[in-house]
Amino acid sequence: MLLLDFLKQCASNLTFAKLKTYAARSPDSISGDGVKLYLDLLKRCVGNFIYDDDVDLMGNWVIDSKTGKYASSEGMRVLPEAKYLGEIWPSRAHTMIGMPRLENLQWCVEEVLKGGIQGDLIETGVWRGGATIFMRGILKAYGVTDRRVWVADSFAGLPQADRMRYPKETNIEFHLHQDLAVSLEDVKKNFQRYGLLDDQVRFLEGWFRDTLPSAPIKKLAVMRLDGDLYESTMDALVNLYDKLSPGGFVIIDDYNGLKSCNDAVDDFRREAGITAELVLIPGAGAYWRK
Ligand SMILES: C[S@@+](CC[C@H](N)C(=O)[O-])C[C@H]1O[C@@H](n2cnc3c(N)ncnc32)[C@H](O)[C@@H]1O
């Protein structure tokens, strides 16, 4: 039923659907039970690998005279390979993390479900919400009703980099990028489009430094960090790692994508004496198991 409902939601647009050339990287035909089919289609939808009209918002930034912030005037053309690997800011997809990181996320959640590792799922830094929508979809597909998905973001973009406080902070002025600020209302709307907004989804709105220390989370099984900055990565690790169950996963979206992020992870692991293998994900990103 789940898969059929979902297909019906997509059906009105299907006449416009064209397979992207990237699709050569994914199996042309898929098989499996309803769960596998639903999750495969959900990944293709949140990553917008179905339609081929994306432009890359990372290109051609100009200052918007009204807001004083960067906006993409004309996006760069999307290279399918870069989109597949999650190396662009897609104009329409609900997540920018690309297929290998979506597959990694699915694998981590399925492992904790199979292994009975207790706790909720969280992403810190959600943008349009696609990765958290996918997390909620995985719980739905497996009939899991006793775990929540925590959706943590300012819903207003990144904070200004504080290089006085964090000398290893990035020089990139992410806070000036309008395209990275997606409102809570819009993220909720995106969940609704998939029929996945319900009380198993909890929103933590505000800067991580303010929301995470007092977040009413008891235990976590998967924590996915995607805040780009040294500060954002460190705030999530410091405030959430103790809540992660043994056997749970930490996923770092920007490992080997942003030096500030590598530095925060490496500093945290060294200071906490963590020696668990850090496994790299194709393209960018890494994870370890507690
Ligand atoms: C690269 S985007 C996340 C991409 C997303 N995971 C996806 O699936 O497409 C970074 C997000 O982190 C949020 N963010 C970064 N640092 C933050 C902080 N310190 N507090 C709150 N939100 C933050 C930004 O608002 C933005 O939505």
Distance CA 10, CA 264 (A): 40
Looking from the CA of residue 209, the nearest atom of ligand 1 is 19
User: Residues with Cβ within 6 A of ligand 1?
Assistant: 95-97, 123, 125-127, 130-131, 153-154, 157-159, 180, 207-208, 226-229, 232
Measured CA to CA in angstroms, residue 21 lies from 7, 25, 30, 256, 280 at distances of 22, 8, 17, 26, 26
pLDDT > 90: percent of the chain: 69
Pick the residue whose CA is nearest to atom 5 on ligand 1. Answer: 126
Neighbours of 280 (CB within 10 A): 11
Cα separation, 95 vs 254, whole angstroms: 14
119-137 tens-digit pLDDT: 999 999 999 999 999 999 9
Residue with the smallest CA separation from ligand 1 atom 12 is 125
Mean pLDDT across 3-10: 44
Q: Which amino acid is at 118?
A: Q
CA 125 to chain centre: 7
Beta bridge partners of 241: none
- For the domain spanning 100-289, the CATH number is 3.40.50.150
- Domains in the chain: boundaries: 2-85, 100-289
What is the pLDDT at residue 30? 57
Nearest by Cα to 224 from 137, 145, 125, 133: 125
Which residues have CB under 8 Å from 40's CB, separation 6+?
Answer: 30, 32
Q: Which of 193, 258, 250 is nearest to 231 (CA)?
A: 258
Strands 286-289 and 244-252: antiparallel
DSSP H helix total and E strand total for the chain: 9, 11
- How many other C-beta atoms can be found within 10 angstroms of the C-beta atom of residue 82? 17
Counting ligand 1 atoms within 8 A of each CB, the residue from 158, 183, 225, 253 with the most, and so the one to mutate, is 158
pLDDT at position 21 is: 34
Instruction: Give the position of tokens 């479900």.
Output: 113
pLDDT attached to residue 54: 72
Q: Which residue has the higher pLDDT, 62 or 86?
A: 86
